[in-house]
Chains A and B, each alone.
Chain A
Amino acid sequence: MALDKTEIEKIAHLARLHIGESETEEVTTRITDILALIDQMQSVDTEVVEPLAHPLDLVQRLRADAITEGNQRDKLQKLAPASEDGLYLVPKVLE
């Protein structure tokens, strides 16, 4: 399936990626090529096939409800690009 520029822009926005004017054409071509590769799947009828999400048919383990983590704020906020008074700072969140 071929994608047009508007769709590429929509996907880029959903993924919070910026694609410059100059790149759009190349990105569109590449992705269209990859989708052609992917579309080979459509040649097989899978109407009655159960999807497989995990290779192994296993079930979720349960964790006991216990507090095992303490305050790690100082250690973790050393990694942050911007923080103040124990909070991570980001450009103003508009609601």
Chain B
Amino acid sequence: MINCTVAETSAALAAGDISSVEITQAYLDRIATLNGELNAFITVCENSALLQAKAADDARANGNDRPLLGIPLAHKDIFCTKDILTTCGSRMLHNFVSPYNATVVERFIDAGTVLLGKTNMDEFAMGSSNETSFFGDVKNPWNTECVPGGSSGGSAAAVAADLCAMATGTDTGGSIRQPAAFCGVTGLKPSYGRVSRWGMIAFASSLDQAGPITKSAEDAALMLNVMSGLDKKDSTSIDRPIEDFTATLNQPLKGLRIGVPKQHFADGLSMEVEQAIRNALAEYEKLGATIKEMDLTNSHLSVSAYYVVAPAEASANLSRFDGVRYGHRCEDPTDLEDMYKRTRSEGFGEEVKRRIMIGTYALSAGYYDAYYRKAQKIRRLIKDDFDRAFEEVDVIIGPTSPHTAFKLGSKADPVSMYLEDIYTIAVNLAGLPAASIPAGIANGLPIGMQIIGKYFDEAKILNVAHQFQQHTDWHKQKSTAITAASGES
């Protein structure tokens, strides 16, 4: 049962074939077996999970059925969870027990889900490999010598290894899509403003967006139904009519216009990945879609602009971690300045400090126009590219990452790590929705395909993803390494 999709588990729960307590216990057992090796969870909430499962079973017995009632999930440790440790992968918050729930967390509670625990992540979501976490590397379930991607690496690994039925992630420059690609699962970054950011620890406020990481596009639709919607506590949350993202999953793709950006098939893309995406495009043509090659002229500037905008916003967002009101404080500060500097230098890891420095520099007197303002202008150019493209196509498809998961420790140089997100970053700068779904396997590692949609066209992305998953089984492929490790067949 633990390898089932949410949709399948939900049906089994509704039919009474299994109880939430049973399925929850199965996941907890699986976590107990595998988390030592994968390090996907920072916190496991065994007792409360079983209580929530019992409550879900009771609710169902009382006729209070809902699609996600009793489904065990994991939250990325970036979401504040009341009375539960919330670390954001940082030493800075190693002792931070949140006094409140994020809106996303609150909505899953209202939906009757069961919280198994909090997943590991790159520190403050800054990283593409999950190696910047204070709580240690997460291992890729397909090959434990490889990274799971980042920053939502713990969530992607947990879903891939069946440590939970579904998980939340956040995506600032590819942090849902790239780990989803590396771990062979489905991940969706919604349109900016679709999901409330209240209670989601900020990295770069104008880019951050929470989304689902699941075993199928249909599951992502089920999760998005719960996560999305207006929240007045977040001024950037958007007031739109409530949608049922599952409603259009089965629409035929005949006549679908797919844009394929030349720039996403350029130098640096590995052959295996390119081949897998070309095969997938052929599959779409079989389903009646037309393929149109197109340009995203300024996409090569997205990484540059991103590494100004994101660090600049982060440099301010992370100023609140000062050792005064919560979190880490250095021992015996001699004076105020010493407290600030030692607290922050001890509390933050290298990558976080590096980005704070970059952001501080980009905003400092004399450099603002050359960096921050310039980056905001590039951002406009990138958005305009997409706006033009979407006049002629319905979705844009390409690889999520230039290659499959790389080896732990193989990218010590920050710039080469930053270039990992070359296909995903532009989407955040423009605020568009995009998914990554499994589209192949090479050398025992999954390949991710990115589907980018128009603003608020998550339903179309999910429809396109779901139809692919109806006709292929890449999303059902499992890592043999992990299955063997847990002793299952």
Chain A interface (Cβ < 8 Å from any Cβ of B): 3, 7-8, 11-12, 14-19, 27, 30-31, 33-44, 46, 49-56, 58, 60-61, 63, 72, 75-76, 79-82, 88, 90-94
Contact = CB atoms under 8 A, between A and B. Distances in A.
Given A17-B356, A37-B304, A44-B301, A31 B235 contact: no
Nearest to B95: A79
B456 to A, nearest CB: 10
B431 A91 contact: no
Given A14-B364, A41-B301, A56-B431, A30 B414 contact: yes
Given A80-B325, A81-B328, 11 more contacts: A15-B357, A33-B414, A40-B304, A50-B380, A51-B377, A79-B326, A81-B323, A90-B324, A91-B336, A91-B338, A94-B336
Given A75-B99, A79-B96, A79-B325, A40 B192 contact: no
Contacts of B376: 51-53
Contacts of B334: 91
Top 7 A-B pairs, shortest CB-CB distance: A55-B431, A51-B376, A81-B329, A79-B326, A46-B377, A16-B340, A52-B380
Contacts of B390: none
B308 A17 contact: no
Nearest to B234: A61
B358 A34 contact: yes
Nearest to B333: A91
Contacts of A38: 304, 307-308, 358, 362, 371
A42 B367 CA distance: 13
Contacts of B301: 40-41, 43-44
A36 B414 CA distance: 12
Contacts of B336: 90-94
A43 to B, nearest CB: 8
B414 A44 contact: no
Contacts of A56: 192-193, 236, 238, 431, 455
A63 B303 CA distance: 36
A54 B324 contact: no
Interface string B410-430: 000111001000000000011
A18 B345 CA distance: 6
B378 A53 contact: no
Contacts of A61: 232, 235
Nearest to B375: A41
A12 B357 CA distance: 6
Contact of A31 (B300, B361, B429, B431): B361
Contacts of B328: 81
Interface residues of B, number: 71
Given A33-B415, A51-B380, A91-B336, A17 B206 contact: no
Contacts of B337: 16
Contact of B335 (A50, A60, A76, A92): A92
A16 B193 contact: no
19 contacts: A7-B361, A11-B364, A15-B315, A15-B357, A16-B337, A17-B348, A27-B354, A34-B414, A38-B362, A40-B300, A41-B374, A46-B377, A46-B381, A51-B376, A51-B379, A52-B380, A56-B192, A93-B336, A94-B335
For A52, A81, A90, the residue with the greatest tally of chain B CB atoms inside 10 Å of its CB is: A52
B460 interface: no
B378 A41 contact: yes
A54 B236 contact: yes
A78 to B, nearest CB: 8
Contacts of A72: 99
Interface in B173-192: 192
Contacts of A55: 192-193, 206, 383, 429-432
Contacts of B371: 38
B378 A16 contact: no
Contact of B381 (A19, A36, A49, A54): A49
A14 B366 CA distance: 15
For B357, B413, B418, B455, the residue with the greatest tally of chain A CB atoms inside 10 Å of its CB is: B357
B12 interface: no
A44 B378 CA distance: 8
Interface string B349-371: 00001101110111010000011
B193 A58 contact: yes
A50 B192 contact: no
Contacts of B292: none
B354 A34 contact: yes
Given A34-B354, A38-B307, A76-B99, A54 B338 contact: no
Nearest to B418: A37
A92 B378 CA distance: 44
A90 B344 CA distance: 15
Contacts of B327: 79, 81
A18 B341 contact: yes
B14 interface: no
A38 B360 CA distance: 14
Contacts of B303: 37, 40
A38 B370 CA distance: 10
